[in-house]
Amino acid sequence: MSPILGLQLLLVAGGAIAVAAVARRKGWPAPLLLVAAGLLASPLVPAVPLDPELVLYVFLPPLLYSAALDSSYLRLRDAKRAVGLLSIGLVLFTAAVVGFVVHLLLPDLPLALAFALGAIIAPPDAVAAVAVGRRLGLPRRTLTLLIGESLFNDATALTAYRVAIGAFVGGTVELLHSVGEFLLAAVGGVAIGLALALVFAWLFTLTRDSLVENTLTLLIPFAAYLAAESVHASGVIAVVIVGLYLGSRMHLRGFGTRLVSDAVWQVTAFFLETIVFALIGLQLVTVIRGISGYSAWEVAGYAAAVLGATILTRFVWVFAATFLLKVVRRDGPQAPGRQQSVLLGWAGMRGVVSLAAAFAIPPEVPPRDRAMLLFLTFTTVIGTLLIQGTTFPALIRRLGVSSDQERYEDRLAEAAAQQAALEAGLAELDRLVAEQEQEPDEIQKQVIDQLREKSWRRSLTAWERLGGGTGPGGTETPSTLYRRLRRDMLQAERQVFVRLRDERRLDDEVLREVMAQLDFEEAILER
């Protein structure tokens, strides 16, 4: 990589983080603001190339792995049929419909390339939709479907894209060969993902060092992706399988590993997502520059037709799939309701994977056709992000969809679980005390009483959260009062440690140790 390109990427990263920081402070969807900022900056700055290999081999694996770690295997398993209909059925349906629409609009464009474009723009990127949905309290069921779809749909789309491009280069399409390639990608991705998941799970049993374990996790998504792609299997599926498996076994790792892992992957996902969405907008000039031989009205009409077909196709499929799930009695609970179907239909924002696939179109494709495919991909990605993305929050509010009941049920379940855990912990404490040969002395009795009090306080906190931290008349509950006063005390303690460091009465290394202890205690208070 040249120094100039490196400097460009550095400036893009810095600017993207600044824009994302503003979005977070204002409570705006960061992906949409980043795309808009990139569009505005594109004519004013030198072109920043979007390298397909950079996206597919560097950005995509850790983003998929982070999402998989944060997902629930059990919820995805419960919704497997709905997720399958979205991540496989909808992708193939979109590719077919959009392919036919493009072939009708551009009859001179080879049919294989028309279907390649359909495969390119078929997979939605749920990052923006999930970010908005979580902020506005979208029900967990809807979020699960969006996340599950985004985890697996890239694999379907990229496989269909390779088949279509292979048909264009080879000149023929063999149905059995295409089906075999699809099955190889899916089955091979699952097999490699499971194999690597077992290997890494075994490696984690050999070490209890949180720093080593979390450093190793940074290599896992790249190892899984490269291993699968090297044998023409789906790297996307392999990464997702590893992430889901290891994420479901995170409770077997040490507390230090879990604490650090959350921070590591939050920072990684935030950093990569900010760059990716900024790069999408910055491609404006590059994409437009390649279009030639068409009038402005022609290309605008083509773009509007493809965008409209993409959006409409998703609605048709979502409602048809909902009806199908309701017809099959045993799958009735999996069927989304009307409001959920509307939200799922409107949550079809496209992302950087589509653009990367378009930029990766091989040189055998004529430059004029390649430019048109890239332009239609770009306009579809931008159109869905800016049209659907900006109106998605209003749609959620309009439909009155809320997760308040789910949150209440979660708190109730947590309180009940805390009560059961409290009883088990106290029973174990009584057993340990009873096993002592001598009667506890005064100091030991104080320690035992402190353990009992801490257990009761944690259980009480869970029940108090059901009332939002307030008691009758809006007064603070004991746990809320404790947390507020203790936070102020911790701040005062920090100031003393810093003052002693500045007076050279305390070494910086000692300061870091005591500050870490205070930070962990404050983190517990926040939790």
pLDDT at 309 over 70: yes
pLDDT of residue 527: 64
Give 434's Cβ-side CA count (13 Å radius).
6
pLDDT of residue 404: 61
Report helix, strand or coil for 516: helix
Q: What is the DSSP letter of 477?
A: P
Owner of token pair 């430019």: 371
Closest to 243 (Cα-Cα) out of 195, 303, 311, 197: 197
pLDDT bin (cut points 50, 70, 90) of residue 474 is: low
pLDDT of residue 332: 46
Give the pair of three-digit tokens for residue 495.
């100031």
pLDDT of residue 408: 61
pLDDT bin (cut points 50, 70, 90) of residue 331 is: very low
Q: CA 269 to CA 63: how far, in whole Å?
A: 6
Closest to 229 (Cα-Cα) out of 352, 110, 64: 64
Rounded to 5 degrees, φ, ψ at 186 are -70, -55
**Cα 248 to the chain's mean position, in Å?**
16
Radius of gyration (C-alpha) of the chain in whole angstroms: 27
Q: CA 261 to CA 210: how far, in whole Å?
A: 8
Q: How many Cβ atoms sit within 10 Å of the Cβ of residue 140?
A: 16
pLDDT bin (cut points 50, 70, 90) of residue 102 is: very high
Which residue would you say has higher pLDDT here, 100 or 401? 100
pLDDT at 501 over 80: yes
13-31 residue pLDDT tens? 899 999 999 999 988 888 9
Which range (405-414, 447-456, 490-499) has the least confidence? 405-414
Report helix, strand or coil for 124: strand
106-159 residue pLDDT tens? 999 999 999 999 999 999 987 777 877 777 778 888 888 999 999 999 999 999
pLDDT bin (cut points 50, 70, 90) of residue 412 is: low
pLDDT of residue 167: 85
pLDDT of residue 414: 64
Whether residue 506 contacts residue 452, with contact meaning beta carbons closer than 8 Å, is answered with no
Report helix, strand or coil for 144: helix
Give 15's Cβ-side CA count (13 Å radius).
22
Which class for 84: exposed (0-12), middle (13-18), buried (19 or more C-beta within 10 A)? middle
Give the pair of three-digit tokens for residue 451.
């353990």
pLDDT of residue 461: 67
Which residue would you say has higher pLDDT here, 490 or 224? 224
Q: CA 16 to CA 62: how far, in whole Å?
A: 18
pLDDT of residue 215: 92
Mean pLDDT computed over every residue of the chain = 86
Whether residue 68 contacts residue 239, with contact meaning beta carbons closer than 8 Å, is answered with yes
Q: CA 234 to CA 156: how far, in whole Å?
A: 9
Mean pLDDT of 43-63: 89
Q: CA 78 to CA 330: how far, in whole Å?
A: 12
The amino acid present at 38, given as its one-letter code, is G
Report the predicted TM-score, pTM, of the whole model to 2 decimal places. Answer: 0.84
Which range (18-22, 377-381, 388-392) has the least confidence? 388-392
211-247 residue pLDDT tens? 899 999 999 999 999 999 999 899 999 999 999 999 9
Whether residue 123 contacts residue 314, with contact meaning beta carbons closer than 8 Å, is answered with no
Q: Determine what percent of the chain is predicted with pLDDT higher than 70.
A: 89
